[in-house]
């Protein structure tokens, strides 16, 4: 029987990706269109909110995802030395 547990090295080999982007009501005291995003890397989950046009939010969150993946690629390169 195998467990659902993944080792740190298995998790680090899984890239971050945008899992979902949903409309949500504006937070109290805010106006405009808001979105809830979920970024996932294996079992790791990052949840955030961002206001703005959908295309702007997608661009910003894609940038987050790319930077997270670059950061973890650097971590992997260091560990391989």
Q: Kindly state the average pLDDT of the residues 74-79.
A: 71
**Tokens for 59?**
């661009």
Q: Are 35 and 23 in contact (CB under 8 A)?
A: yes
Q: What is the pTM of this model?
A: 0.78
Percentage of the chain lying above the pLDDT 90 cut: 69
pLDDT at 64: 97
Distance, CA of 49 to chain centre: 12
Q: Are 16 and 65 in contact (CB under 8 A)?
A: yes
Q: What are phi and psi of 21, to 5 degrees?
A: -145, 110
């Amino acid at each position: 029987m195998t467990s659902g547990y993944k080792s740190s090295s298995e998790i680090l080999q899984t890239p971050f990706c945008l899992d979902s982007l949903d409309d949500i009501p504006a937070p109290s005291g805010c106006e405009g269109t808001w979105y809830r995003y979920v970024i996932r890397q294996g079992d790791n989950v990052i949840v955030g909110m961002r206001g703005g046009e959908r295309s702007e939010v997608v661009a910003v969150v894609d940038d987050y995802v790319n930077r997270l993946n670059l950061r973890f690629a650097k971590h992997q390169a260091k560990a391989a030395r």
